[in-house]
Each structure stands twice: as C-alpha cells, then as structure tokens.
Amino acid sequence: MIVCFDIGGSAIKGAVAHTPDQILPLGRRVTPLDDFTAFVDTLRDVIAEAGEEPDRIAMSITGVVDPETQAIKCANIPCIDGRTLGAELSALLGLPVLIANDADCFALAEAGAGAGRGYRIVLGAILGTGVGGGLVVDGRLINAEGGFAGEWGHGPAVAAMAGTPPVAIPVFDCGCGQRGCVDTIGAARGMERLHLTLHGKRLESHEITTLWQNGDAQAARTIDVLVDLISSPLALTVNITGATIVPIGGGLSNVTPLIAAIDTAVRARILRKFDRPLVVPGECRIEPGLIGAAILGLAGETR
C-alpha cells in the first residue's frame, strides 16, 4: 500500500492506493505556500488518515525536478522552491518519497489507465490554463529522475503567420522567461490573448469555444489561427518522440470538436500517417494526478 498525493498551489489531495484501480481518496487540505514545516505537517496528517504505514509516498506536483541536482523549481509553492524535496521529505517522514511533475503524472495515468493503454509511446499533452506535457515509453516516464522532456509548450516555436488566410502573429513574452512559446498562444489563456489580438475583444476561453460551436465568425477565426499555431509544434513533438497516441488533458480537452480539429491538423503534418485519431481527449477525467502518482509509487521505484 502507498499514499499518493496530487499537490497544487491551492490544494493538497491524498489517497491510499493498493492498485491503480483501487484508489481511496483521503482528506483534501489547503496547500501551505510559505511555511515548509506546515507543508510537511499537512502531508503527515493525510498519511495518518491511511490508518497504516505505507510502503512509500508518491506525489504529483506542480513544478519540475532538476534531474542533476534533484532540486525542485516550483513558483506556485514558494516554501518548497529550490529544495531537494524528495530527499528532505523522505528524511522528515521516514518513508521513501517519489516525486513527478503533474503533467508527467497525467501522461502516466493515461498510459496505464486511460486513452494510452496498449500503446508503447504515449505523449500526454495538457491544454489547460497553459500548455504542458509528459512522455511515457513502455510504461515508464522518460522523466523518471526529473526533467523537462515532453514540455512542448515552451521554446520559441510560434509561427510568424497563421490561419487561413494567414495573419501576422505577435511574439509574446512567456512566464518561463522566453519569448514566442506555444504556451503564450495555446490553451485557455493563449486563446483569450489571440481573440483580443485578432478582434480587440476580451472574452474567456469558454465563451470563445461556445461562440465557435454556435457559428460565430470571429470565434471561428480565432480557433482557426489557434489550431494552426499549436498543431505544427505538436506534430514536431510527435515526430521526435515517435508517439502513437496523444491524450489531451486540461480544460480544453472537454471541447471535443477542438480536439478533433487539432487531431486532423496534426495528422496532416507528421511523417507517419494514421488512419485513426492520434490526438484524443484523455480518459482519466477524475484525479489523473492521483492515478499517475499511484502508478508511479506502486511500481516501487525510488530515487
């Protein structure tokens, strides 16, 4: 038995896992952002709810672990930023601790229990507030020791022109410190930025997608440009990784026609041709972070 966690900037969710299909949720608590002692005590409280000592702890967490130093970069939770979190938590909790990025855990969940079952190379792509991803090969994370593989949302990959007919696309600053990342024009915030740029109107992403599905011409133009912009970087990532299925997570994965449009565009731009959908909505709709952490922990791998 293990205890797994899904840790974000607002909440810490825990669960007991005996198998990936047997996950019993534990308490949900507010994430202590600025007090590391309180952060550790919160984890202890959740572990105590399990009623017995687990074999290990596995957690899905916002942020990325440096594969060389094992230090975590986590802007959303300042009290853990820069710490060698796995080693510190293991010493304080007295248990082996395994940590993976939340996008990596989404990819693991989809590979083990979702749309990626039966596929050797699974690229889990996030289209939520921003753009992210994780890569699983033969059931194992490429980022088993931490790292940035699968993060197709970052890097100066945005085209200067996009859409039919083409329109000039400004280069936007990205929160990662670079300029022109897919994250700046993809997913929810990117869609809203594109709509403002193209039409001078501030709308939320759900308003844009609803208008698009109802035949609104301006929303259709925004979606056309968005799909064109993100499909080429995603196609390049598929070519490089050899992924044969790309489950999509995040809020925009719920907009089925949008995922279908991205799938059509990506399949037209990759070397290998598929006569089936490649880019598909993720199937782990509830707590993919906990499912991915459970798969990670139950594999029994510790750093």
pLDDT tens-digit readout, 215-224: 999 999 999 9
Q: Are 63 and 73 in contact (CB under 8 A)?
A: yes
Q: What is the pTM (predicted TM-score) of this model?
A: 0.92
Per residue in 23-72, pLDDT tens? 999 989 999 999 999 999 999 999 999 988 999 999 999 888 999 999 99
CATH class of 115-281: alpha beta
List the domain boundaries for the chain. Answer: 2-102+286-298, 115-281
Superfamily of domain 2-102+286-298: ATPase, nucleotide binding domain (3.30.420.40)
Residue with tokens 């990959």: 157
Q: For the chain, what percent of residues have pLDDT higher than 70?
A: 99
- As a whole number of angstroms, the distance between CA 290 and CA 217 comes to 40
Instruction: Identify which of 133, 5, 140, 14 has the alpha carbon closest to the alpha carbon of residue 60.
Output: 5
Tens of pLDDT, residues 183-194: 999 989 999 999
